Chain A
Amino acid sequence: MPNLLSARNIVKKFAGHTALNDVSFEVPAGSIFGLLGPNGAGKTTIIRVINQIIAPDSGTILIDDRLLNSDHVKEIGYLPEERGLYRKMGVGEQLVYLARLKGLSKKEANERVKEWFARFEMDGWWKKKVEELSKGMQQKVQFIVTVLHEPRLLILDEPFSGFDPINAELIKNEILRLRNNGATVILSTHNMGSVEELCDNIALINKGKKILDGNVKEIRRTYAAHTYDISFKGSMIAFSNAMWTGAELISKQEGEQGIQHARVKLLGTTSPNLILQNVINVGEVVGFTEVLPTMNDIFINKVQENSETVERVGTKNNLTE
């Protein structure tokens, strides 16, 4: 898959503070890319660089292998973390205005706003002022602002915050629909559940440095700690003995109908097959699954590991975050 966007060696310094230190990553076309990192890591800075709100001190951003330039403005849709709309302006008028700033004609903008009104069941909102809308409704409007000009690259900063579960689902499905229609999505979020669910690839940034990137499935497999969940009918004591020195029992739980659940970590060169052979002797095995680390675990581990080497105190980013 060709890359829609490549960030190469991006450096950005603010007065006495390095916000981005030699950050590189690739975003394959038609994928959902997770941009992860703790608060103040530099996510917003890199998003602003891609949006040409600020310029990097060095490094390049390529879109379709061409240097980022002002023509790319209309190909990018940006949902900032801090949502903002003109409070006293009508919803329809505002959407048309913002779409025209992205380069749509008045007519095109009008038609598309109507389409989205139908899609999000927002009939009768055209003349409403933003301040009359609930927070969730404002978020919907904000999302439409981002996608109205049908950008090829969507940059969504915490897209689910402020939505109730129903609307969050609606937005999630829209993101997937847009991706399926060919859009590439950069998703910046702290919600690791949605990263596992949506993202194909991620980059993890901490203190202005990229500390991890790659395919989500591969990363989880890489950090898989040879941990398995085993469910069986039989005695837990016998099970523990059967493990012997090949594996360590991390947790155990007695389930319904006499089924025991155990989580074990294989030690040394022990293979899953060997463990299974032993367990078969002490009871009837009803389940055996490998436990992959959650992105949450990986995130926390990597950031802590990184912070031990770097100074622990987080310096606050000069610009927002």
Chain B
Amino acid sequence: MGKLGIIIWREYLTRVKNKTFIIMCFVLPLLVGGMIFVTQKIDEQNAIHRTIVVVDDSGIPDSLGYAFIFNDTLDLKFNFNYVYKGLDNVRPIFKDSSHVSILWIPESFQGGGDSTAMHSPSLVTKLISTSAPGPNVLNLLENVLTNEIQRDNMRINHISRQAVDLALKKVTVADEVNGSTQGDIKAIVGLAFGFIIYMYILMFGVQIMRSVVEEKMTRIVEVIISSVKPFQLMLGKIIGVTMVGITQFLIWIMLSLAIVIPVVNSVNDSNIDFTKSMPHQIKNAIPVNPDINLLSIDPTQQTKDVVETIMTIPWGNLIPAFLFYFLFGYFLYASIFAAIGSAADVDADTQQFTFPVTIPLIIAMLSSVTIINDPNGSVAKLLSMIPFTSPVVMLIRIPFGGVGIYELLLSIGILIVSFLIMTWISARIYRVGILMYGKKATWKELGKWIFYKV
């Protein structure tokens, strides 16, 4: 093993064997898994005992009212009970029952059966609870009532079911680029990759900086650079810490798969329902009562769309791009952090330098909203050329497609060149900085160090 290898290996081993690393590796996935488990359990517990009492004061003629239209079709674990009493009578009965909600359909609802008022009917109902039932329940009730009202209105206006079904056939726009739900998925994928790079640079860049400061503070650096070149030490440290980070992410991915999957499965146990893991908006779009459904979205179709969207993400570009931007973006910042560390005598001295250095990263994350809304807009294009923001911004853009090959190559080229220049500059600062003691360096001095002959 060459000297560089020996340095890399030490930097790697001392960190991997460190208690903090082991705790971070194992506790974090456990925490995430535990949180998912607990929230799902809480959801379940909340849902099981709830009862909704429907009080229908509307008295719409020729109808049983709204009492029997509800079904817990979403498996939210609700019971529906119906009473033929007024709200004033029902309310006191349940005023102390935390597990009972009263759905009150007031007299004025739908014009109270008065057909002259049908053009501006009140559509307000109330769910009266002592403890909040959660948005899922409200959505369910709204959907069911809305469907019912629509059906009533058609019947009142003598429109046949078949006519309505035909008239309201839903047109699907197959969304190949960038749409609402599909766009969401792409945004999530892009943000996730961008965020991983952002996190990694900050976490492990700071580790490099601290480690440089430590070597300088304990003065061992002088012993080491009498054996190896400062650049070898800096490079060994950067590569070693990179490997630690990769190890940590691999462990997280594996542990997450090992912990999260069984947890999710155990909660869903017998009923592995794909809709469970979907966002609520999607879930609520699924028909409550299929035979009166007018806004027909087939759940299996929805699933298919998600899968198709995921398939339309240019993975062939995304994965290599991720690996590239991840490594070079990280190296770009890592060498800067090493240089900053070398200019400080104690950890606290580094703060004046770290903040300005992290600003571009923060800008990249903050502008993610703009980029998602307009992945090929001018802000996105500009930020994906600047080497300090491109690793994050490019990764957000790529899932949406539309990043031209020349644009990508230009961004990659700029990043590589910047990385080389920055590493050179940092190494020049580093080799001077590690031998400087006793004074707090300024930006101006760092600039001078670049041109020192050592």
Contacts and interface: CB of A to CB of B under 8 A. Distances in A.
Contacts of A83: 219
Contacts of A85: 218, 220
A132 interface: no
Contact of B223 (A14, A54, A80, A319): A80
A55 B454 contact: yes
Contacts of B435: 48, 53-54, 319-320
B250 interface: no
B14 A89 contact: yes
Most B Cβ at <10 Å: residue of A53, A54, A55: A53
Interface in B203-225: 214-215, 218-225
A164 to B, nearest CB: 21
A80 B3 CA distance: 21
Contacts of A84: 215, 218-223
Contact of B218 (A14, A86, A319): A86
Interface string A235-255: 000000000000000000000
A82 B222 contact: yes
Contact of A78 (B214, B218, B226): B226
Contacts of B219: 80, 82-84
Interface string A51-90: 1111101000000000000000100101010111111110
A187 to B, nearest CB: 17
A192 to B, nearest CB: 25
Interface of B: 3, 6-7, 10, 14, 214-215, 218-228, 435-438, 448, 452-454
Contact of A73 (B6, B226, B453, B454): B226
A299 to B, nearest CB: 26
A218 to B, nearest CB: 32
A145 interface: yes
A101 B228 contact: yes
9 contacts: A15-B452, A80-B219, A84-B219, A84-B222, A84-B223, A86-B14, A86-B214, A97-B10, A319-B435
A57 B453 contact: yes
A137 interface: no
A210 to B, nearest CB: 22
Interface in A93-111: 97-98, 100-102
Given A86-B214, A145-B223, 11 more contacts: A53-B222, A53-B226, A54-B435, A73-B226, A76-B226, A84-B218, A84-B222, A88-B14, A100-B6, A101-B224, A320-B436
A78 B228 CA distance: 13
A59 to B, nearest CB: 14
Contacts of B221: 84
A86 B452 contact: no
Nearest to B9: A97
B437 A101 contact: no
Contacts of A51: 226
Interface of A: 14-15, 48, 51-55, 57, 73, 76, 78, 80, 82-89, 97-98, 100-102, 145, 319-320
Contacts of A80: 219, 222-223, 226
A84 B213 CA distance: 13
B320 to A, nearest CB: 36
B437 A320 contact: yes
A52 B229 CA distance: 9
Contacts of A73: 226-227
A227 to B, nearest CB: 42
Nearest to B3: A101
B224 A98 contact: yes
Contacts of A15: 448, 452
A97 B218 contact: no
Contacts of A48: 435
Contacts of B10: 97
Contacts of B3: 100-101
A9 to B, nearest CB: 17
Given A53-B435, A55-B454, A78 B223 contact: yes
B86 to A, nearest CB: 75
A78 B219 CA distance: 13
A101 B222 contact: no
A48 B438 CA distance: 18
Nearest to B220: A84
B227 A55 contact: no
A319 B225 CA distance: 15
Most A Cβ at <10 Å: residue of B6, B223, B228: B223
A150 to B, nearest CB: 14
B18 to A, nearest CB: 8
Given A82-B219, A84-B219, A54 B224 contact: no
A102 B3 CA distance: 8
Contacts of B448: 15
Nearest to A316: B438
A14 B453 CA distance: 8
Nearest to A80: B222
Contacts of B6: 97, 100-101
B222 A86 contact: no
Contact of A86 (B220, B226, B437, B438): B220
Closest 10 CB pairs of A and B: A84-B219, A84-B220, A101-B227, A82-B219, A51-B226, A78-B226, A84-B218, A80-B222, A54-B454, A320-B437
A14 B219 CA distance: 21
Most A Cβ at <10 Å: residue of B214, B225, B436: B225
Nearest to A320: B437
Contacts of A76: 226
A52 B435 CA distance: 13
Nearest to B222: A80
Nearest to B10: A97
A55 B437 CA distance: 19
Given A78-B223, A87-B218, A101 B7 contact: yes
A319 B222 CA distance: 12
Contacts of B226: 51-53, 73, 76, 78, 80
A76 B226 CA distance: 9
Contacts of A14: 452
Given A15-B448, A83-B219, A85-B220, A53 B225 contact: yes
Nearest to A84: B219
Nearest to B225: A53
A78 B224 CA distance: 10
B428 to A, nearest CB: 13
Contacts of B215: 84, 86
Nearest to B5: A100
